């Protein structure tokens, strides 16, 4: 599987899973690149295994435990330059109600500076015999330049505490437990982070003072979120670690970047590093309180052109675009609003999203075209187009630049016909919900009885990701009274969707 990294400063969080007839082993993977010295780097990787995806055995001492076997390779071209294989035992569980707990594995590798491929395979030692191991293969870049001021990758943390111990969990006098999720829900009121600034002494001079500003920025327009930030001063060194947390209580629901930015005494930006995350904050979600169903939106061009015979269709189709509690309000307007109130809500919905470059009327027309395309091409006998996976993606992202299927996919071997029907959608560039380039969506006809393809993988921010998608959609016939049925892959959600 190819994992794209459009820019190295972006967060990399990946849900990996395997399909089978028993439990589906799943884990979230993240990694960071740190500097060891001028010629070597430290590659750290973090794996969070989902407790409910593992098989447990009762141990004589009175607790349950699961065991995972992990195999790691680092490749330079086709040459394996590092190989490691080890077993991991989950923490003891004394109450079966705690099977849902995840457990984290943190490890680090020192490598010469360069570009490599990192391979990881993991499997539950008590898995079903026919199950494939969980696996991934990604490109990695190790090391930093020796004379340029640079910032390491940002490690998002679950906890940190002072410690003098050594090991993969320890850096700069602290025990750091990684957080392998870029989803921050209503109980997650702080963003904890660790990183390092390199070579500031080479650029600014030994012991020169500089500032690192820590901010939260809107992922779409990079505007700074007020009330969510901090800063720290440092004396220039070869390595300056930074560690802290930002209060997220005033950050509303949405898509954001955490950013660390180095500034000199003149407040000039010298370097920055960002990491993506999603925030859900119901306490600040009151998007509809400013809408009065009896009022009329001023200067609304939408009201002049909208087909009033299709108001319910136009309102229901907003579901893929709605955020927070907007869907609840849309359902209420559809169920009990009169014609004028429904038109007024359409005006309100797009006026609220209007910008100088994208006025409300232009956004509405774009939405209407996408909604009609979704209905025409992807509606089924039992489901309108906007409720299907392909229809939702069309409404959110528009028409793809290219579509390959199981026959035209250049990566499929011509003689291999063992896959479910699938489509790969490619977008060269999208602007919403956050700007991205070269994103893909993979849909598969999991249920051969209907035409409703399911999303099985995407590299887009906030969408489901499954690097084993090709293995999962390979045709697996269930030997029963209906041999034409296909085994349905377990498509898991990492909480960002």
Domain co-membership, 121 together with 216: no
Tell me whether residue 88 is in a domain: yes
Residues 150, 176 contacting (CB under 8 angstroms): no
Residue 398 has pLDDT above 90, yes or no: yes
Integer CA distances (angstroms), 346 to 289, 296, 427, 478, in order: 15, 11, 28, 47
Strand ranges in 219-253 using DSSP code E only, listed in sequence order: 224-235, 239-247
Tell me whether residue 481 is in a domain: no
Kindly state the DSSP code that residue 477 receives in the 8-state scheme.
Answer: B
Query: Phi-psi region for residue 184, left (φ > 0), alpha (ψ -120 to 50) or beta?
Result: beta
Q: How far apart are CA 214 and CA 231, in angstroms?
A: 6
Lowest-pLDDT range of 34-48, 175-189, 444-458: 444-458
Whichever domain contains 9, its CATH number is 2.60.40.10
Q: So what's the pLDDT on residue 18?
A: 37
Whichever domain contains 240, its CATH number is 2.60.40.2550
Q: How far apart are CA 11 and CA 103, in angstroms?
A: 21
Tell me whether residue 16 is in a domain: yes
Tell me whether residue 458 is in a domain: yes
Range of the domain at 442: 404-472
Tokens found for residue 173: 């006098």
Strand ranges in 77-208 using DSSP code E only, listed in sequence order: 79-89, 103-112, 114-124, 134-142, 150-151, 155-162, 170-171, 174-178, 183-184, 190-198
Partners of 17 in beta bridges: 26
Q: Report pLDDT digits (tens) over 346-379.
A: 998 998 888 888 899 999 999 999 999 999 999 9
* Closest CA relative to residue 258, chosen from 10, 14, 44: 10
Number of domains in the chain: 4
pLDDT-derived band at 479, boundaries 50, 70, 90: very low
Q: How far apart are CA 50 and CA 27, in angstroms?
A: 6
Domain co-membership, 379 together with 429: no
Rounded mean pLDDT, 475-485: 35
Tell me whether residue 492 is in a domain: no
* Most trustworthy range by pLDDT among 8-17, 125-134, 265-274, 288-297: 265-274
Q: Report pLDDT digits (tens) over 139-185.
A: 999 999 989 999 999 999 999 999 999 988 999 999 999 998 888 98
Rounded mean pLDDT, 403-419: 67
Q: Which of 287, 316, 350 marks a domain boundary?
A: 287
Q: So what's the pLDDT on residue 225?
A: 93
Residue 2 has pLDDT above 80, yes or no: no
3-state helix, strand, coil in the chain (%, to 5): 15, 40, 45
Residue 4 has pLDDT above 60, yes or no: no
Tell me whether residue 496 is in a domain: no
Q: So what's the pLDDT on residue 164?
A: 92
User: Mean pLDDT in the chain?
Assistant: 83
Order the strands of the 224-235 sheet from edge to edge. Answer: 183-184, 269-279, 254-263, 209-218, 224-235
Reported pTM? 0.72
CA 378, 384, 385 angle in degrees (round to 5)?
A: 35
């Amino acid at each position: 599987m190819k994992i794209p990294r459009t820019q190295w400063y972006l967060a990399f969080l990946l849900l990996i899973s395997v399909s089978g007839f028993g439990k589906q082993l799943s884990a979230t993977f993240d990694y960071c690149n740190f500097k060891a010295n001028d010629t070597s780097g430290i590659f750290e990787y973090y794996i969070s295994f989902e407790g409910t995806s593992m098989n447990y055995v009762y141990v004589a001492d009175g607790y349950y435990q699961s065991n995972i076997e992990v195999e790691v390779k680092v490749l330079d071209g086709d040459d394996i330059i590092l190989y490691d294989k080890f077993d991991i035992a989950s923490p003891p569980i004394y109450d079966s109600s705690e099977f849902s707990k995840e457990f984290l594995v943190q490890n680090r590798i020192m490598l010469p500076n360069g570009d490599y491929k990192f391979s990881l395979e993991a499997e539950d030692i008590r898995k079903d015999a026919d199950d494939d191991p969980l696996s991934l293969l990604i490109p990695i870049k190790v090391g930093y330049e020796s004379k340029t001021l640079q910032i390491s990758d940002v490690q998002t943390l679950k906890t940190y505490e002072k410690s003098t111990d050594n090991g993969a969990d320890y850096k700069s006098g602290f025990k750091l437990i990684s957080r392998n999720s870029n989803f921050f829900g209503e109980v997650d009121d702080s963003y904890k982070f660790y990183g390092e600034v390199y070579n500031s002494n080479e650029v600014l001079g030994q012991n020169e003072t500089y500032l690192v500003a820590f901010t939260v920025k809107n992922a779409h327009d990079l505007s700074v979120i007020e009330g969510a930030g901090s800063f720290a001063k440092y004396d220039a060194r070869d390595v300056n670690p930074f560690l802290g947390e930002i209060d997220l209580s005033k950050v509303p629901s949405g898509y954001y970047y955490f950013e660390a930015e180095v500034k000199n005494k003149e407040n000039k930006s010298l370097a920055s590093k960002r990491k993506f995350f999603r925030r859900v904050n119901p306490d600040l979600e009151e998007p509809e309180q400013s809408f009065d169903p009896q009022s009329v939106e001023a200067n609304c061009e939408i009201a002049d052109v909208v087909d009033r015979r299709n108001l319910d269709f136009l309102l229901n189709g907003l579901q893929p675009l709605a955020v927070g509690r907007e869907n609840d309000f849309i359902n209420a307007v559809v169920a009990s609003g009169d014609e004028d109130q429904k038109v007024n809500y359409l005006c309100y919905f797009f006026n609220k999203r209007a910008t100088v470059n994208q006025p409300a009327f232009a956004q509405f027309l774009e939405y209407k075209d996408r909604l009609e395309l979704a209905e025409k091409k992807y509606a089924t006998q039992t489901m309108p187009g906007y409720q299907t996976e392909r229809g939702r993606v069309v409404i959110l992202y528009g028409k793809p630049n290219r579509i390959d299927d199981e026959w035209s996919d250049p990566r499929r071997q011509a003689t291999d016909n063992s896959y479910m029907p699938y489509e790969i959608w490619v977008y060269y560039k999208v602007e919403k919900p956050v700007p991205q380039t070269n994103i893909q969506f993979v849909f598969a006809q999991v249920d051969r009885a209907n035409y409703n393809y399911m999303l099985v993988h995407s590299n887009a921010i906030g969408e489901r990701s499954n690097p084993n998608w090709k293995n999962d959609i390979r045709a697996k016939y269930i030997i029963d009274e209906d041999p034409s049925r296909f085994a349905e892959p377990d498509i898991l959600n990492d909480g960002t969707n």
